Structure 1
Amino acid sequence: MSEYKLTLKGIHHVYGNKADDETEAIKHIDLNVRDGEFLAIVGASGCGKSTLLNIMCGMIEPSEGEVLIDGDSISSGKHRIGYISQTDTLLPWRKIESNVALGLEIEGISKKERLEQARKMIALSGMEGFEKKYPHELSGGMRKRAVIIRALVQNPDIIFMDEPFGPLDVFTRETLQKEILKMWGERKNTIIYITHDIAEAITLADRIVLLSRRPSIVKNEYKVDLPRPRVIEECKYNPVFLELEKQIWHDIKDELQEEV
């Protein structure tokens, strides 16, 4: 068993096949993520955050380098991976309980067992009473909550989240951030979280990685020394929060100025 849950070794990625059309997205990234760690990745728009996340979860094969989970190649197919994207990925013709149970259905779990597990997770997330509703009958925040518990119900080794709350209003975002922290606190899945929101990264994460402008390298890492469990409404007034937010914003601003 590896010391780390996830390891990136020499990740380099280029889009395009011909030299004239090539775009170097990621230059050279080595990264280790501990079991149960909540890691946030931030960076200026277009710096390659989503590309890196998609390489981490096996959706993109890097031009060079390898991704390991528990010391084994991600291509081995041994690992349970959860993925939550920016878009609404619920199936509109399925009721919420069937949407939440979809991954278990693909795994071959019996209908009775998968629906029982789905209903337990729905109740845990505060959505009890919405099991028989269809996605169009729910608010945007409730649909996103269903997407999150669909990923969690399979108890994956790692959950990858790509700016999952981007289009939501600030109040709904805070509610869902609380849900994420509550569920993560109970299960301690490893989470890799992409966000453009520095405050969100500090509120949620144990550690933050800042990517440089394209081609991306790891420009800096920051340990988030805020006690857990965290009260979202209070975090933003903590001096540690304010100082870290200022430091990360300063480093990102440097990237933007260099690009100009």
Structure 2
Amino acid sequence: MKHTEKIKMSLKGIQHTYYSATGEETKAIEDISIDVKEGEFLAIVGASGCGKSTLLNIMCGMFAPTKGEVLIDGESIEKSDHKIGYISQTDTLLPWRTIESNVALGLEIEGIKKEERIKRARELMKTSGLEGFEKKYPFELSGGMRKRAVIIRALAQNPDIIYMDEPFGPLDVFTREKLQGEILKMWMERKNTIIYITHDISEAITLADRIVLLSYRPSRIKAEYIVDIPRPRNIEECKYDPEFLKLEKQIWSDIKDELRFDDTEEEEEKAWIKRS
């Protein structure tokens, strides 16, 4: 799929510093600027603790950066009324609601009439292989099926931008590859802009148009790569493409110096958000 040359989102000089309860500073992000084109599938990769999730949360407006700004269609994210979707690592289905009512939740919040929102939810469930499970509850579905429901819930509102934070991390490799295929199919049909956080280089190459590699903390853009593998892509076959193997080798070579045995980013972020 070819995306347009229109810039959908821009990060301008993003910096972010966390402060501990004792006032100690941890600089997470140092001067990151990225332009994301409309309809582009952008993957952001980096070693654990490099600031990927912090950057994503700034991009979707969950909190403001210490310095810099986020623009959507040239407007500050604080003023923008664009629809965005967010798919996290965790299972965010509401256990007391049926699957169809979970999928329709965003439409309900928007004020869409019940008949229309259930119709749209069921159409998405059918295309994603969840037909017949409309009246089931989350505990009655497998992990892969629940994740599928989370994905189509984000798609139900047809958001301009979808943010995904390592959505398939907890799943087995077979379920993960199947869901990767479904993400690509839905993206090809809808042409949403997707920003995808992952530590899995293979996954990034399989899905993305472009990959941004972040350095270790304080995070900067270390390298960018264009994924020159034709679409549509077959999940099982594209990893044997010579371009795939060449790019995978290059990214591994570039990332090996960034590896650290330090997982403090997530705890720092949670503590900072709690205090905010």
Asked if Structure 1 and Structure 2 have the same fold, meaning a TM-score greater than 0.5 normalized by the shorter chain, the answer is yes
> Residue 21 of structure 1: which of 24, 41, 65 is its match?
24
Question: In structure 2, how many angstroms separate the alpha carbons of the residues matched to 1:248 and 1:198?
Answer: 7
Contact 2:15 2:32 in 1 (8 A): yes
Of 238-247 and 19-28, more deviation after overlay is shown by: 19-28
Q: What secondary structure is seen at the aligned counterpart in 1 of 2:259?
A: helix
1:91 and 2:94 aligned = yes
**Match of residue 186 from structure 2:** 183
Q: What secondary structure is seen at the aligned counterpart in 2 of 1:29?
A: strand
Q: What secondary structure is seen at the aligned counterpart in 2 of 1:92?
A: coil
Question: In structure 2, how many angstroms separate the alpha carbons of the residues matched to 1:210 and 1:64?
Answer: 21
Question: In structure 2, how many angstroms separate the alpha carbons of the residues matched to 1:256 and 1:100?
Answer: 38
**Match of residue 163 from structure 1:** 166
**Match of residue 134 from structure 1:** 137
TM-score normalised according to structure 2 size: 0.91
Instruction: Give matches, 1:99-248, under 5 Å.
Output: 99-248=102-251
* 1:167-210 superposed Cα distances (whole Å, 9 cap, x missing partner): 00000000100100000010010000000100000000000000
Structure 2 unaligned spans of 5+: 263-276
Give me the identity figure in percent.
75
The residue identity in structure 1 corresponding to 2:117 is: R
Structure 1 unaligned spans of 5+: none
Q: What secondary structure is seen at the aligned counterpart in 1 of 2:95?
A: coil
Question: In structure 2, how many angstroms separate the alpha carbons of the residues matched to 1:253 and 1:104?
Answer: 44
The residue identity in structure 1 corresponding to 2:259 is: L
TM-score normalised according to structure 1 size: 0.96
The residue identity in structure 2 corresponding to 1:52 is: L
Name the count of aligned residue pairs: 257
* 1:93-149 superposed Cα distances (whole Å, 9 cap, x missing partner): 000000000000111111111111111111111111111110000000000000000
Name segments (4+ residues, structure 1) moved above 3 Å.
17-20
Question: In structure 1, how many angstroms separate the alpha carbons of the residues matched to 2:140 and 2:20?
Answer: 45
Q: What secondary structure is seen at the aligned counterpart in 2 of 1:76?
A: coil
Q: What secondary structure is seen at the aligned counterpart in 1 of 2:139?
A: helix
The CA deviation at 1:17 is 6.7
Question: In structure 1, how many angstroms separate the alpha carbons of the residues matched to 2:156 and 2:173?
Answer: 26
The CA deviation at 1:60 is 1.6
Question: In structure 1, how many angstroms separate the alpha carbons of the residues matched to 2:160 and 2:24?
Answer: 37
The residue identity in structure 2 corresponding to 1:144 is: K
The residue identity in structure 2 corresponding to 1:178 is: G
Question: In structure 1, how many angstroms separate the alpha carbons of the residues matched to 2:74 and 2:100?
Answer: 35
Contact 2:72 2:80 in 1 (8 A): no
Q: What secondary structure is seen at the aligned counterpart in 1 of 2:68?
A: strand
Question: In structure 2, how many angstroms separate the alpha carbons of the residues matched to 1:149 and 1:185?
Answer: 14
RMSD value over aligned CA atoms?
1.4
1:45 and 2:48 aligned = yes
The residue identity in structure 1 corresponding to 2:212 is: V
The CA deviation at 1:37 is 0.2
> Residue 58 of structure 1: which of 55, 58, 61 is its match?
61
Contact 2:100 2:122 in 1 (8 A): yes
Contact 2:48 2:259 in 1 (8 A): no
The residue identity in structure 2 corresponding to 1:132 is: K
Question: In structure 2, how many angstroms separate the alpha carbons of the residues matched to 1:42 and 1:175?
Answer: 21
Question: In structure 2, how many angstroms separate the alpha carbons of the residues matched to 1:77 and 1:69?
Answer: 7
Question: In structure 1, how many angstroms separate the alpha carbons of the residues matched to 2:25 and 2:116?
Answer: 49
Question: In structure 2, how many angstroms separate the alpha carbons of the residues matched to 1:18 and 1:65?
Answer: 24
Question: In structure 2, how many angstroms separate the alpha carbons of the residues matched to 1:93 and 1:18?
Answer: 37
